């Protein structure tokens, strides 16, 4: 999966390139995002293209957070649609992630 990566104010921003993150592609995303996680301790994952996420996709996000935390890093999320946000809330994952409406706010939070 071609995950586009940007660098903004010393923060890596990775855009989820698909509209749906689910059982069919979650493993592939996990594999491809691993190298991005390994490369930095400040990461924002941008959800602005994503329309649907299921428990497989959520599981990958949880795994990403754990990996980052284990390295002493921090992971923030941004750009969620209403439906994706609702799915995070349904499983209480909004309580363990910092989630921001926009990428700018997420990046800015690293300097707060």
Partner 1 sequence: MKAPNDLVSGIQESIRRNARYALGKEWAELSRYERFVAVALAARDRMVDGMLATEERYREQDPKRLYYLCIEFLIGQSLANNLRNLGIREACRQAVSNLGADLEEIEDSEPDAALGNGGLGRLAACFLDSLATLGMPTCGYGINYEYGLFKQEIDDGYQRERPDNWLAQSSPWQIARTDEACLVPVYGRIVHEADRHGAYNPMWMDWKVLIGVPYDMLIPGYGGRTVHCLRLYSARSSRDFDMRIFNDGDYFKAVEQKIASETITKVLYPSDAVIAGRELRLVQEYFLVACALRDIVRRFEESHSDFRELPAKTAIQMNDAHPALAVAELMRILIDEKDLRWSKAWEITRATLSYTNHTLAPEALEKWLVPLLEGTLPRHLQIIYEINRRFLKQVAVALPADEPRMARMSLIEESSPKRVRMVNLAIVGSHATNGVSAMQTDMLQSLLVPDLYQLWPERFSHKTNGITQRRWLLGANPLLADLVSETIGDGWITDLQQLRGLEPFAADSAFQAAFGRIKRVNKEKLAAIIRDRSHVKVDPDSLFDIQAKRIHAYKRQLLNILHIVYEYLALVEDGEEPATPRTYVFAGKAAPGYWYAKQVIKLIHDVARVVNADGRAQPWIKVAFLSDYRVSLAEKTIPAADLSEQISTAGTEASGTSSMKFALNGAVTIATLDGANIEILDDVGGDNMFVFGLEVADLHAMHGKRSYRPRDLYDDDPRVKRMAQAFTSGLFSPEEPGLFSWVLQTILNPNDEYCHLADLPTYLEAHRNAAEAFKDPGRWMRTAILNVARIGRFSSDRAVLEYARDIWDLKQV
Residues lying near partner 1 in the complex (CB under 8 A) are found at 22-25, 52, 54-55, 58-59, 62, 83, 86-87, 89-93, 95-96, 98
Whole-number minimum distance, CB 56 to partner 1, in Å? 8
Residue 53 backbone phi and psi in degrees, to 5: -140, 135
Q: Return d(Cα 99, Cα 108) in angstroms, integer.
A: 12
Specify the residue, 11 or 76, whose C-beta has the smaller distance to partner 1.
76
Specify the residue, 15 or 75, whose C-beta has the smaller distance to partner 1.
75
Specify the residue, 5 or 67, whose C-beta has the smaller distance to partner 1.
67
Whole-number minimum distance, CB 5 to partner 1, in Å? 25
> How many CB atoms lie under 10 A from the CB of residue 55?
14
Specify the residue, 5 or 32, whose C-beta has the smaller distance to partner 1.
32
Q: CB within 8 A of 17, min separation 6: which ones?
A: 1, 2, 3, 4, 49
Whole-number minimum distance, CB 7 to partner 1, in Å? 26
Whole-number minimum distance, CB 20 to partner 1, in Å? 8
DSSP 8-state class, residue 9? T
Q: Which residues face 15 on adjacent strands?
A: 4, 46
């Amino acid at each position: 999966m071609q995950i586009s990566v940007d660098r903004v104010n010393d923060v890596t921003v990775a855009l989820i390139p698909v509209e749906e993150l689910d059982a069919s592609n979650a493993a592939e995303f996990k594999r491809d995002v691993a190298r991005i996680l390994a490369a930095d301790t400040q990461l924002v994952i941008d959800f602005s293209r994503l329309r649907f996420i299921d428990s497989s996709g959520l599981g990958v996000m949880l795994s990403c957070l754990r990996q980052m935390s284990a390295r002493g890093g921090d992971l923030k999320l941004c750009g969620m649609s209403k439906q994706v946000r609702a799915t995070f809330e349904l499983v209480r994952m909004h309580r363990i992630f910092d989630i921001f409406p926009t990428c700018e706010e997420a990046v800015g939070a690293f300097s707060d």
